[in-house]
């Protein structure tokens, strides 16, 4: 069968190549595959859509069954965010040269080395540290690795989670650290939504703690004023302080290093990566430039070096012997294909935004989130917890009427409004509930929303919530 993707399947070409090799058929090349494990029938797959036109038609039929957040008013967040993606970001990440390259050397692939090193450098400015890695898969992986790094550095077993954490993320972290660590989730204070410092102190009293883990903002969207105090508690117990943060907050919020974090980590999806049904993630890990910290990174760290020619920038891998590429199972965890192109895209995003853009987007989102919380608090049948605590993008509300969060969510959807996911679906661990509260719902606003959008949400809720 010939196909535009398979040039040498043309029978005459195939015959000529076989003749040149001196083989009678392709079957000769499979001589080492025993008959007993051969598939003696064609794969049972649907008939091919051989022409591009047929394929496009089929895919269009499938995609028409989707309604994107661009065709509704979406207040969905909880780990995947709808932000504006600048056109220049799309232009760069869709370039063939970047999209289709892989793992070339820092000569013919100089461009990707420089773009990723610049990404590391801009993230380092944002995070106010000297070392940021080439992206890992996602924020979950970054947190798991950051905690294992803390474990290797301290040689200790326990990990203490001090702020509300997404249940899926906790699931990933638990699975990932299982061989070496046990995770203790300290319930947050139910009034403030923030860390319960007394309870954290108590958890640390048991000793053997490798790290205290906190998030800014937490899974409740809350920016916890106890974040600096947790650093003192962690360090007082001889543990490292690991902080997961949303990098988009850092034009307005202090970088974790400034209040004592030894390792910062998180997901860069908010930095110009499309939502893609939750498929657009990349994780960062950041530390001070100290050899004992750098030595524990599993990921690639690109470094800037001279070349043989004066004035040329060259790049290479810093401390490559750390990695499983160099030392298989003796390396730190593992390294492999992860999410480099998202790093390049996030770099473009930061270069476009600059310091003022990052401050302004942070202010806009803080302001709109505060407005949304105030506005919804005026809806009869809606309670907004945690008082005036600053929130960024995500926030939760509670329905006091007869309808559950899932019922309200479904009614909102019928009115073209996406949002109000019951927190039970991504139940933040550490919220101190034995079972999730069926009347609690999560919303999210970003810079793409206007005051009118939020007012529409409020008036729609007024119709629904009894």
Partner 1 sequence: MTDHHAPAPGPVTAQDARIAPKPPLRRFRQASWDEKLVFELGGPGERGVLVPAPDPSIEVPEIPAALRRTAPPALPELSQQQVLRHYLRLSQENLGADLNIDVGQGTCTMKYSPKVNDRFVRDPRVAALHPLQDEDTVQGVLRVLHELERLLAEISGMDRVSLQPAAGSAAIYANVSMIRAYFADRGELEQRDEVITTLFSHPSNAACAKTAGFKVITLHPDADGYPDIGALKAAVGPRTAALLITNPEDTGIYNPRIEEFVRIVHAAGGLCAYDQANANGILGITRARDAGFDLCHFNLHKTFSTPHACGGPAAGACAVTEELAPYLPHPTVESDGERLFLDHDRPRSVGKMRPFHGVVPNLVRAYAWIRSLGAEGLRAAAETAVLNNNYLLHKVRRIPGVSVPYAEGRPRVEQVRYSWQKLYEDTGVHSEDIGLRAADFGTHYWTSHHPYVVPEPMTLEPTESYSRADLDEYAAILAEVAREAYEDPETVRTAPHRSTVHRVRPEALDDPGTWAVSWRAYRRKILGESP
Q: Please state, in angstroms and rounded to a whole number, the distance separating the CA atoms of residues 37 and 47.
A: 25
Interactions with partner 1, residue window 387-416 (CB under 8 A)? 388, 390, 409-410, 413
Burial class from Cβ neighbours inside 10 Å (0-12, 13-18, 19+) for residue 323 reads buried
Which among 255, 312, 241 is positioned nearest to 132, based on CA atoms? 255
Stretch of residues binding partner 1 (CB under 8 A), selected from 202-210, 232-240, 267-275, 396-404: 267-275
What minimum distance in Å lies between the beta carbon of 320 and partner 1? 7
Stretch of residues binding partner 1 (CB under 8 A), selected from 7-15, 154-162, 193-201, 429-437: 7-15
Q: Please state, in angstroms and rounded to a whole number, the distance separating the CA atoms of residues 233 and 116.
A: 35
Pick between residue 322 and residue 439 the one whose CB is nearest to partner 1.
322
Pick between residue 126 and residue 160 the one whose CB is nearest to partner 1.
126
Indicate if the alpha-carbon torsion angle 158, 163, 167, 172 is positive or negative: negative
Pick between residue 117 and residue 213 the one whose CB is nearest to partner 1.
117
Distances in Å between the Cα of 281 and the Cα atoms of 81, 140, 177, 275, 346 are 10, 10, 21, 9, 11
User: Can you name the residues that pair with 159 across neighbouring β-strands?
Assistant: 183, 211
User: In degrees rounded to 5, what are phi and psi of residue 126?
Assistant: -65, -40
Among residues 274, 398, 433, 456, which is the contact residue for partner 1, using CB under 8 A?
A: 274
What minimum distance in Å lies between the beta carbon of 134 and partner 1? 7
Check binding of 453 to partner 1 (CB under 8 A): no
Q: Please state, in angstroms and rounded to a whole number, the distance separating the CA atoms of residues 218 and 223.
A: 7
What minimum distance in Å lies between the beta carbon of 153 and partner 1? 15
Q: How many CB atoms are located within 10 Å of the residue 41 CB?
A: 6
Q: Please state, in angstroms and rounded to a whole number, the distance separating the CA atoms of residues 178 and 184.
A: 12
Pick between residue 275 and residue 460 the one whose CB is nearest to partner 1.
275
Indicate if the alpha-carbon torsion angle 428, 433, 436, 437 is positive or negative: negative
Among residues 213, 284, 302, 443, which is the contact residue for partner 1, using CB under 8 A?
A: 302
Q: Please state, in angstroms and rounded to a whole number, the distance separating the CA atoms of residues 458 and 257.
A: 38
Pick between residue 19 and residue 463 the one whose CB is nearest to partner 1.
19
Binding mask 110-149 for partner 1 (x = CB under 8 A): xxx-xxxxx-xxxxxxx-x-xxx-xx-xxxxx--------
Check binding of 24 to partner 1 (CB under 8 A): no
Q: Please state, in angstroms and rounded to a whole number, the distance separating the CA atoms of residues 400 and 49.
A: 53
Distances in Å between the Cα of 59 and the Cα atoms of 49, 52, 53, 100, 276 are 10, 10, 10, 22, 16
Pick between residue 205 and residue 410 the one whose CB is nearest to partner 1.
410
Angle (deg, nearest 10), helices 227-236 and 197-205: 20
Binding mask 44-63 for partner 1 (x = CB under 8 A): xxxxxxx-x--xx-xx--xx
Pick between residue 316 and residue 438 the one whose CB is nearest to partner 1.
316
Among residues 192, 294, 415, 433, which is the contact residue for partner 1, using CB under 8 A?
A: 294
What minimum distance in Å lies between the beta carbon of 7 and partner 1? 4
Check binding of 385 to partner 1 (CB under 8 A): no
Stretch of residues binding partner 1 (CB under 8 A), selected from 176-184, 204-212, 236-244, 431-439: 176-184
Provide the 3-class DSSP secondary structure of residue 72: coil
Stretch of residues binding partner 1 (CB under 8 A), selected from 42-50, 154-162, 200-208, 397-405: 42-50
Place of tokens 């993707």: 5
Residues that contact partner 1, how many (by CB under 8 A)? 213
Check binding of 366 to partner 1 (CB under 8 A): yes
What minimum distance in Å lies between the beta carbon of 85 and partner 1? 8
Binding mask 68-107 for partner 1 (x = CB under 8 A): xxxxx-x-x-xxx-x---x-x-xxx-xxxxxxxxxxxxxx
Check binding of 378 to partner 1 (CB under 8 A): no
């Amino acid at each position: 069968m010939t196909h535009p993707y398979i040039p040498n399947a043309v029978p005459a070409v195939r015959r000529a190549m076989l003749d040149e090799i001196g083989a009678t058929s392709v079957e000769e090349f499979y001589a080492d595959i025993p008959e007993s494990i051969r598939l003696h029938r064609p794969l049972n797959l649907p008939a091919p859509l051989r022409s591009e036109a047929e394929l496009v038609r089929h895919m269009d039929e499938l995609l028409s069954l989707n309604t994107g957040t661009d065709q509704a008013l979406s207040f969905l967040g909880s780990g995947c965010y709808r932000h504006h993606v600048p056109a220049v970001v799309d232009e760069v990440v869709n370039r063939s040269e970047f999209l289709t390259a892989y793992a070339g050397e820092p000569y013919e692939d100089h461009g990707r080395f420089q773009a990723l090193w610049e990404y590391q450098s801009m993230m380092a400015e944002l995070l106010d540290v000297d070392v940021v890695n080439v992206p890992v898969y996602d924020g979950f992986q970054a947190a798991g690795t950051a905690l294992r790094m803390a474990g290797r550095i301290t040689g200790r077993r326990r990990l203490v989670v001090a702020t509300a954490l997404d249940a899926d993320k906790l699931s990933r972290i638990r699975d990932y650290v299982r061989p070496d660590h046990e995770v203790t989730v300290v319930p947050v204070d139910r009034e403030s939504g923030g860390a319960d410092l007394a309870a954290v102190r108590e958890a640390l009293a048991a000793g053997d703690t490798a790290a205290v883990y906190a998030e800014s903002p937490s899974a409740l969207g809350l920016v916890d004023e106890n974040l600096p105090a947790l650093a003192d508690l962690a360090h007082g117990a001889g543990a490292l302080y690991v902080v997961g943060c949303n990098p988009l907050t850092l034009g307005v919020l202090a970088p974790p290093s400034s209040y004592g974090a030894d390792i910062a980590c998180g997901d860069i999806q908010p930095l110009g990566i499309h939502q893609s049904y939750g498929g657009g993630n990349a994780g960062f890990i950041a530390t001070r430039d100290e050899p004992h910290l750098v030595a524990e990174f599993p990921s690639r760290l690109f470094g800037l070096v001279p070349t043989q020619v004066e004035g040329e920038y060259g790049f290479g891998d810093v401390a490559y012997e750390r990695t499983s590429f160099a030392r298989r199972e003796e390396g730190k965890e593992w390294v492999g294909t992860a999410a480099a192109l998202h790093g390049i895209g996030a770099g473009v995003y930061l270069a476009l935004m600059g310091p003022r853009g990052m401050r302004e987007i942070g202010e806009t989102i803080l302001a709109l989130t505060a407005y949304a919380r105030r506005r919804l608090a005026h809806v009869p049948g809606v309670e907004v917890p945690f008082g005036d605590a600053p929130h960024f993008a995500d926030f939760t509300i509670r329905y006091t009427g007869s309808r559950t969060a899932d019922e309200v969510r479904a009614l909102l959807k019928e009115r073209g409004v996406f949002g109000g996911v019951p927190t039970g679906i991504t139940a933040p661990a550490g919220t101190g509930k034995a079972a999730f509260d069926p009347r609690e719902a999560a919303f999210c606003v970003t810079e793409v929303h206007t005051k009118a959008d939020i007012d529409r949400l409020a008036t729609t809720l007024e119709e629904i919530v009894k």
